[in-house]
């Protein structure tokens, strides 16, 4: 039996903020139905969401809105980011961090646009998924939210001139954050610490801290060698103690040169125990004056935001996913994936209400 007789408070608040981006009252209502359905409907298809409401139009109206209506996705995202600057807890800060990482959104069907087989490192198996790169802003208050996203398309699924690898997409996300004037240091894991990315950040004078693979070559003691080989040469007395949470590690830090990287990089090597010969982690930053603890405080946000926000990323992202399949006549199939990328409008409402900007 239908159970929804009114939209949840968070959806009503989202409509107040974003409703004018839709040109008609029916469009605003469908937008609210869409957000509500992604949150509470058991069957997240066009007909499944439509059936959850006690009073609504025929499901064909909702379907046409999904497949035919045009509106500005960029405007919605810009509005969302501007709205978040109203609260001190979610406002941009020079001490903020811009974390970039990719994550997989798994699917059951193979006909959804841009899906492919990808290796899932968490489950250690191949899965059918979308591969999303997401830039996320982490505030000093520990509040965090997505800034922008890109979806990776495999080379064999798009025209050759349209193919972009992960490095190019990462640079696009960097440029997007810089264009928006968002302050803070960038951070990412070893997958994105290529020479091309590091040189681009240096050219923009943007601070970064990145993970370095231990087989990455550096110039140390006058010769090129792997970081793990460097780690084995560091004497016990050169390893300084550092506490991260409840654990103590040993570390060694020194500016080094990386092949093809046009600037010196401060490399921090870390050992689980100071008596260990082999390092367990390496970080790099072109801020040569930064202490190791500051590098740790920036890098700790890698991987945290994308996996947490992939379930609550921007509604325009989920909407774009729906529209891709809807344009090919598969809105019902694609809405199930949009559940995983459900509304940041709703998430923002919760954040703002917690920070006292609910305006009720």
Per-residue pLDDT tens over the stretch 1-28:
457 878 888 888 889 989 999 888 988 9
Q: Which one-letter DSSP state was computed for residue 58?
A: -
pLDDT of 327 reads 32
Residue 65 has which token pair?
């809105």
Cα–Cα distance list, 337 to 73, 105, 119 (Å): 18, 8, 18
Average pLDDT over residues 199-205: 97
Position with higher pLDDT, 81 vs 302: 81
Does 176 reside within a domain?
no
- Residues spanned by the domain of 227: 207-296
Look at the pTM and tell me if it is higher than 0.75: yes
Q: How many Cβ atoms from other residues are within 10 Å of residue 79's Cβ?
A: 18
Q: How many domains does the chain have?
A: 1
Highest mean pLDDT among 82-86, 107-111, 302-306, 345-349: 82-86
pLDDT over 90 at 345, yes or no: no
Does 225 reside within a domain?
yes
Phi and psi angles of residue 13, each rounded to the nearest 5 degrees, phi first = -65, -40
User: How does strand 185-188 pair with strand 97-106?
Assistant: parallel
Does 139 reside within a domain?
no
Residue 257 has which token pair?
């040169």
Does 261 reside within a domain?
yes
């Amino acid at each position: 039996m239908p159970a929804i007789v009114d939209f949840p408070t968070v959806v009503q608040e989202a409509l107040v903020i974003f409703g004018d981006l839709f040109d008609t009252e029916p469009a605003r209502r469908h937008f609210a139905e869409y957000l509500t359905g992604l949150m509470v409907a058991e069957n997240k298809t066009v007909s499944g969401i439509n059936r959850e409401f006690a009073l609504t139009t025929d499901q064909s109206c909702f379907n046409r809105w999904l497949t035919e209506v045009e509106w500005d996705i960029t405007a919605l995202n810009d509005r969302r980011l501007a709205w978040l600057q109203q609260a001190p807890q979610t406002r941009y800060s020079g001490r903020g961090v811009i974390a970039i990482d990719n994550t997989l959104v798994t699917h059951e069907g193979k006909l959804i646009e841009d899906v492919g087989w990808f290796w899932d490192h968490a489950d250690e198996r191949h899965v059918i998924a979308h591969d999303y790169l997401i830039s996320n802003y982490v505030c000093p208050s520990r509040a965090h939210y997505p800034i922008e996203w890109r979806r990776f398309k495999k080379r064999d699924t798009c025209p050759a001139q349209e193919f972009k690898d992960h490095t190019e997409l990462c640079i696009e996300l960097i440029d997007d954050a810089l264009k928006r004037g968002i302050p803070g240091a960038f951070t990412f894991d070893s997958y994105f610490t290529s020479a091309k990315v590091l040189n681009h950040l240096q050219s923009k004078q943007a601070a970064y801290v990145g993970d370095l693979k231990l087989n990455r070559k550096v110039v140390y003691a006058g010769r090129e060698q792997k970081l793990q080989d460097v780690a084995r040469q560091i004497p016990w007395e050169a390893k300084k103690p550092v506490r991260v949470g409840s654990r103590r590690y040993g570390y060694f830090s020194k500016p080094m040169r990386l092949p093809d990287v046009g600037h010196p990089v401060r490399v921090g090597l870390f050992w689980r125990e100071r008596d260990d010969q082999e390092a367990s982690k390496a970080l790099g930053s072109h801020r040569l004056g930064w202490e190791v603890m500051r590098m740790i405080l920036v890098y700790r946000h890698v991987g945290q935001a994308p996996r947490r926000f992939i379930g609550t990323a921007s509604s325009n992202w989920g909407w774009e996913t729906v529209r891709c399949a809807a344009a090919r006549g598969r809105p019902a199939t694609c809405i199930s994936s949009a559940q995983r990328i459900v509304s940041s409008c709703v998430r923002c409402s919760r954040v703002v209400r917690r920070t006292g900007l609910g305006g009720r």
